[in-house]
Amino acid sequence: MDIDHFVRRWSDREGGAERANASMYLLELTLALDLPPPDPASATTAHNDYVFERAVRSRLDDGAGAPRRIDLYKRGYFLLEAKQSRWPGRAKAVEAAGDQAEMFDGHSGGPRDAGTPRWDALMRNARKQAFDYVRDLPPDHPAPPFLIVCDVGRVFELWADFTGTGRGYAPFPDRKSYRLSHADLAAPETRALLRAIWTDPSSLDPTRRAARITREIVDELAVISRRLEGQGYPPEDVAHFLMRCIFTIFAADVGLLPKARLLALLQDCAASPASFVPLFNDLWSRLNDPDHGRRFFSGFGAHVPHINGGLFSDARVLPLGEPELARLLMAARRDWRQVEPAIFGALLEHALDPGERRKLGAHYTPRAYVERLVELTVMEPLRDDWRLAQTRAEQARDDGDSAAAVRVVREFHRALCATRVLDPACGTGNFLYISLDLMKRLEGEVLETLADLGHPESLGLDTIDPQQFLGLELNPRAAAIAELVLWIGWLQQHYKTHNGHPAEPILKAHGNIRRRDAVLARDAAGTPTRPDWPQAEFIVGNPPFIGGKDLRSRLDPGYAEALWSAHPWMNESADLVMYWWDRAADILARPGSCLRRFGFVTTNSISQVFQRRTVERWLGARPPISLAYAIKDHPWTRASRDAAAVRIAMTVAVAGRQDGVLFQLAHESGLDSDEPRIELSARSGRINADLSVGVDVTRAGPLTANAALSSPGVKLHGAGFIITRAQAAVLGLGQRPGLERHIRPYRNGRDLTGHSRDALVIDLHGLEIDTVRRDFPEVYQHLVSEVKEKRDNAGKLIGRDANPRPTYRQNWWVFGEPRVDLRAALDGLPRYIATVETAKHRVFQFLDATILPDNMLVCVASDDAATLAVVSSRAHLAWTAGVGGVLEDRPRYTKSRCFDPFPFPDLTDAARARLATAAEEMDALRKRVLADHPDLTLTGLYNVLEAVRAGAPLSDRDASVRDRGLVLILRDLHDDIDRAVAEAYGWPAELEASQIVARLAALNAERARDEGAGRVRWLRPDFQRPRLAVAGRAGDLVLPEVAAPQRAARPTFPRDRYEQPLALVAALRDASGPVDAPTLSRAFSRGGARIEPRIAQVLTTLHRYGHVERLTDGRYVARRAA
């Protein structure tokens, strides 16, 4: 269909059935735009990913009610809600007495700044309906980046949220131009915009273009930085000099300085480099002068503004040569108005040398990830506050009290301008800048509402400015850059919404970035203590990533000991970030605290044992805190060539006990670029300390039945213990009697999952040093040289003689951790079970008892093939995935969380025989194919098995692995084991993983009670029973509480007319189902018929503005936050 014909055909068309017209309009739109039309809808919704009338189930009624229908939906792209306004006097009529075109500017055909109140209400209601649909999408559907609200034949509203959470939709591209008229479709740029939404919505993410520009500029400036440092200038001086250059260029782009004349000046300096220092020293000195008369700069032939803020108080200019000035000129020619202020963070990363970066644990955080956390931590509660204020203002306006409506909106604005955000590890200010940026956008909505009410924003209102955004930062360069980042971000927002320049001085020295340590201070006596943090309503940030085991080596001497002294309740294995988490939790839980939420980026080890102890302590405290949001495992995009590639977690905490939303990674791509694509799915419920939802498996305790059987392998503390077979012969193997008992095969994780080194290890456990020297002199000399007195290439002592632990120095000829208990458990067994602690695939196998396992192998002292079958089963793998940790993106198996609490099934003789047969065949098959085909590996077999199960196409190489590795037989054996184990538990074989974990958690609690009563189901009774007394009553597993119904006191209906809508929304949320006005009136003390008319009136207003939903039978239900 021709686009001009389409525009004429639908212009000012009115009336008709909304659903029929909407579908026809949108179908013809896709044809006119040369886009594929929606697919025919299926009877089930599983494949309805691009259809009209996509059905979703409302969570308002737990999905039990009739399905709701999205007018047009394309999974992962957009969600469209269509309405059709009509002439006055009919349903959905607009208020205007004349044509609908009154809502549009006659010159441009675009929408005016505001439509009529009824039309605004129609569009607002449709918008909220679209927001609700996002909430109701299936859990595995990511929130679409675009929401489109369409008044058929008249208007498109565009709303975008590129964070993937569906909680930050904002007008796109901004509030000035987010509405497109039907007539705008004639413009090529409008059609290109809609095509991009249909085909590649992420290409419209403004941060993608900003990231590209930022990267290019940083590359230019980083060369200047490195060359200046190479000439001997201190890095801090270089950083401050470049900051002055950067702001000067930015000021020219926004019109504070004449850009053409600045470019000409730089061009002249490049031709004559000696002129650069005096010219720019003169310019910068004048920018800092408060006297207007002294601010005439001859280089521009004009006065320059007063900048202040301390930026130009030091006007030193470092000399640049022609190549550096050419690069500065190239950077100045860029469009700096579109630059992401996070450029300064990237610049600092380039300026820091690798040694300093390791010391500080510094990482650059991509904007998309920062925005995701800021949305959940800061913006969601502020938007909730704004919705409540809008509800009160709408009620006041409907009652004809415009003054009250203005008062409500202004009260919210004042509160917004007093809201403080603290980043206690602010670095170069990315989190603070994003918070400012998003809060300024929200302020734009508030000011627009005031303008609609007849009160323009210029009437002496406060405004959001950088002094609300507080930071703590130890690095002085980073702190200075953070201050500049905030001012540039604030100025960017100013020029998006204002025509003139800010009042002078342009920058102000608020002192909101404080240069100090956030987790360690010393009192007057020099005693380590915790420092105070500035008060704030929100805390958000990305504290340093340093593992607990590395604190001593990566921080200044004595710092780790002082940190532990100031925080005696923290376990010494906790990562450094957990000290920030603990401090924020302490502030949040205090009675009367102004802190509303805190959110941190951490390493994904937060869900592992040593880190989650901090979270467990606060979730179980009195008063408790809860996790409102969590992302357990999230990729981290490198923003510079030197930035570390890690996996992260995000947590957002609130005071009190409440359910939360756990986001899980659904899809990721482009992780090696500045434009990552991340899709998240969501689950709701109580979030546990291990960042799971559902039964709190962290409370599952160890079972006596499994005791004394599992252990990590030996920990050498000296690579010199490992030798080759050739070295063993030189050391006397085969010549020294008895040495064969002390040189044994040795295996680590790579030996099991990849290709074995066939290594040997010297194991002298149980021998005295005099015996070693007398009976095995060659071994003795080898260990003295390679373990005891070992030195590195620089001659530094690194052997046992340098170890700080006396026992390691004194017993240098034996392993640091010889695992005495494991040796006792393995004594007499011909084989045992082992798995690699951290591996992509969780695989268990038998090892010969002569093999000594490395510390990164987890061993089970059992030669029973039925036990091998159970730990290899889907039931045990689901359990380990639920309770175990993750290192980067690889699952981690720990005996204390994965094996010790696991409740094995009670096996009949027949079940045991069936499982043993399958496990023996599986273990033998794997060993045989790996021996027959030396190029194959265990990881390779399971990679292909995973692809086969997923139905993925196989490459020629993978097909070869499948055939030579007998992978299909391996699959069938695993399936047999899974079915047999499920049958042994008495469970259906098709249970979901979450259901399996819940049942195992309940079984753990049951077994703990049995063991407390003396009934223990030993795994190896002959070994365990003589050694272990039956433990006392084990702690019961705390399952989700089901509160007994209680009759609560009925609330009083508010006297304040503008508090009444809030009371009704709260009552509807508390109701067990839909209710009508008479029923709702009886929910209030002294209510009933007396307040029923007012309740009916308020419900009508709430429905009109989309705050509640009216069902076809006249009853109401509340809309709940997505």
Q: Quick one: 301 and 384 in the same domain? A: no
> What pLDDT does residue 1048 have?
55
> What pLDDT does residue 1031 have?
40
Q: Dump pLDDT digits (tens) for 239-250.
A: 889 889 989 999
Q: Dump pLDDT digits (tens) for 62-115.
A: 444 567 889 999 999 999 999 877 544 444 444 433 333 333 333 333 443 345
Q: Taking 50 as the threshold, does the pLDDT of residue 503 lie above it?
A: yes
Report the C-alpha gap between 559 and 570 in whole angstroms. 15
- With DSSP H G I counted as helix, E B as strand and the rest as coil, what are the percentages for the chain, rounded to 5? 45, 15, 40
Q: Is 429 within the bounds of a domain?
A: yes
Write down which residue in 757, 786, 815 finishes a domain: 815
For residue 839, give the nearest of 801, 877, 889 by alpha carbon. Answer: 889
Length of the chain: 1122
Report the C-alpha gap between 859 and 829 in whole angstroms. 13
DSSP string, 325-369: HHHHHHHHTS-GGG--TTHHHHHHHHHS-HHHHHHHT--PPPHHH
Q: Taking 60 as the threshold, does the pLDDT of residue 889 lie above it?
A: no
Q: Mean pLDDT throughout 512-536?
A: 95
Report the C-alpha gap between 1094 and 1064 in whole angstroms. 11
Q: Quick one: 768 and 884 in the same domain? A: no
Q: Mean pLDDT throughout 350-358?
A: 43
Q: Quick one: 243 and 282 in the same domain? A: yes
3-class DSSP state of 129: helix
Q: Taking 80 as the threshold, does the pLDDT of residue 675 lie above it?
A: no
DSSP string, 25-88: HHHHHHHHTT-PPPPPPPSSSTT-SEEEEEEE--GGGTT-SPPEEEEEEETTTEEEEEE--B-T
Work out the end-to-end distance of the chain between its first and last CA atoms, rounded to an integer number of angstroms.
38
Q: Quick one: 1020 and 929 in the same domain? A: yes
**What's the angle, vertex CA 781, arms to CA 776 and CA 787, rounded to 5?**
115
Q: Taking 50 as the threshold, does the pLDDT of residue 756 lie above it?
A: yes
> What pLDDT does residue 607 have?
66
Specify the long-range contacts of residues 903-909, CB closer than 8 Å, at least 24 apart: 903/703, 903/705, 903/1000, 903/1003, 903/1004, 903/1006, 903/1007, 904/705, 904/706, 904/867, 904/870, 904/1017, 904/1019, 905/870, 905/981, 905/984, 905/985, 906/984, 906/1017, 907/866, 907/984, 908/984
> What pLDDT does residue 461 have?
65
Q: Mean pLDDT throughout 735-759?
A: 95
Token pair belonging to 950: 């997923």
> What pLDDT does residue 104 have?
35
Percent of the chain with pLDDT over 70: 86
pLDDT band (50, 70, 90) for residue 1085: confident
Q: Is 437 within the bounds of a domain?
A: yes
Q: Please check whether residue 472 is in contact with residue 424, taking contact to mean a CB–CB distance below 8 angstroms.
A: yes
Q: Please check whether residue 493 is in contact with residue 443, taking contact to mean a CB–CB distance below 8 angstroms.
A: no
> What pLDDT does residue 94 have?
46
Q: Is 623 within the bounds of a domain?
A: yes
> What pLDDT does residue 164 have?
78
Type and span of the H or E element at 621: none
Report the C-alpha gap between 221 and 768 in whole angstroms. 63
Segments of 518-646 assigned E as strands: 521-522, 528-529, 538-541, 597-603, 625-635
Report the C-alpha gap between 239 and 244 in whole angstroms. 9
Residue 13: CB atoms within 10 A of its CB come to 15
Write down which residue in 175, 204, 233 finishes a domain: 204
Which tops the pLDDT comparison, 982 or 605? Answer: 982
> What pLDDT does residue 100 have?
33
Q: Taking 70 as the threshold, does the pLDDT of residue 352 lie above it?
A: no
Largest CA distance in the chain: 110
Q: Quick one: 610 and 702 in the same domain? A: no
CATH classification at residue 495: 3.40.50.150
Percent of the chain with pLDDT over 90: 51
Report the C-alpha gap between 616 and 688 in whole angstroms. 8
> What pLDDT does residue 452 have?
77
Which tops the pLDDT comparison, 975 or 689? Answer: 975
Q: Please check whether residue 502 is in contact with residue 508, taking contact to mean a CB–CB distance below 8 angstroms.
A: no
Report the C-alpha gap between 637 and 538 in whole angstroms. 25
> What pLDDT does residue 887 have?
52
Report the C-alpha gap between 698 and 1039 in whole angstroms. 11
pLDDT band (50, 70, 90) for residue 965: very high
Q: Dump pLDDT digits (tens) for 197-241.
A: 999 998 898 877 776 677 677 777 878 888 888 899 987 788 889
Type and span of the H or E element at 519: none
Q: Quick one: 750 and 873 in the same domain? A: no
Q: Quick one: 718 and 702 in the same domain? A: no
Report the C-alpha gap between 187 and 196 in whole angstroms. 15
Q: Please check whether residue 95 is in contact with residue 119, taking contact to mean a CB–CB distance below 8 angstroms.
A: yes
> What pLDDT does residue 754 have?
93
Number of domains in the chain: 6
pLDDT band (50, 70, 90) for residue 712: very high
Q: Is 431 within the bounds of a domain?
A: yes
Q: Is 466 within the bounds of a domain?
A: yes
Q: Dump pLDDT digits (tens) for 910-957.
A: 999 999 999 999 999 999 999 999 999 999 999 999 999 988 899 999
**Average pLDDT score, the chain:** 85
Q: Dump pLDDT digits (tens) for 644-663.
A: 456 789 999 999 989 899 98
For residue 28, give the nearest of 72, 64, 60, 87 by alpha carbon. Answer: 72
> What pLDDT does residue 638 have?
52
Q: Quick one: 1025 and 1104 in the same domain? A: no
Report the C-alpha gap between 1039 and 1006 in whole angstroms. 12
Q: Is 1055 within the bounds of a domain?
A: no
Type and span of the H or E element at 578: helix 577-589
Distances in Å between the Cα of 680 and the Cα atoms of 365, 571, 668, 820 are 18, 33, 9, 46
Token pair belonging to 542: 């990305």
> What pLDDT does residue 365 have?
61
Report the C-alpha gap between 1028 and 1012 in whole angstroms. 14
> What pLDDT does residue 350 have?
56
251 strand-pairing partners: none
Write down which residue in 189, 204, 219 finishes a domain: 204
For residue 539, give the nearest of 463, 625, 431, 615 by alpha carbon. Answer: 431
Report the C-alpha gap between 217 and 327 in whole angstroms. 9
**What's the angle, vertex CA 285, arms to CA 280 and CA 288, rounded to 5?**
130
Which 8-state DSSP code applies to residue 1033? P
> What pLDDT does residue 643 have?
47
Q: Quick one: 998 and 907 in the same domain? A: yes
Report the C-alpha gap between 597 and 773 in whole angstroms. 64
Torsion angle of alpha carbons 604, 605, 608, 612, nearest 10°?
A: -90
Specify the long-range contacts of residues 231-236, CB closer than 8 Å, at least 24 apart: 233/318, 235/351, 235/352, 235/353, 235/477, 236/476, 236/477
pLDDT band (50, 70, 90) for residue 553: confident
Report the C-alpha gap between 322 and 48 in whole angstroms. 61
Q: Is 359 within the bounds of a domain?
A: no
Token pair belonging to 588: 């949040």
> What pLDDT does residue 495 have?
81
Report the C-alpha gap between 974 and 945 in whole angstroms. 10
> What pLDDT does residue 107 have?
35
3-class DSSP state of 764: coil
Q: Is 494 within the bounds of a domain?
A: yes
For residue 692, give the nearest of 623, 619, 587 by alpha carbon. Answer: 619
Q: Quick one: 1024 and 935 in the same domain? A: yes
> What pLDDT does residue 618 have?
94
Q: Please check whether residue 707 is in contact with residue 1028, taking contact to mean a CB–CB distance below 8 angstroms.
A: yes
> What pLDDT does residue 219 have?
74
CATH classification at residue 1097: 1.10.10.10
Q: Quick one: 638 and 737 in the same domain? A: no
State the residue range of the domain holding 929.
Answer: 697-711+819-1039
Type and span of the H or E element at 219: helix 206-230
Q: Please check whether residue 647 is in contact with residue 632, taking contact to mean a CB–CB distance below 8 angstroms.
A: no
Report the C-alpha gap between 813 and 783 in whole angstroms. 7
> What pLDDT does residue 1063 have?
87
Segments of 404-529 assigned E as strands: 421-423, 469-472, 513-514, 521-522, 528-529
Q: Dump pLDDT digits (tens) for 294-318.
A: 999 999 999 999 998 788 988 999 9
For residue 838, give the nearest of 741, 924, 750 by alpha carbon. Answer: 750
> What pLDDT does residue 363 have?
47
Residue with tokens 């780790």: 560
Q: Quick one: 867 and 998 in the same domain? A: yes
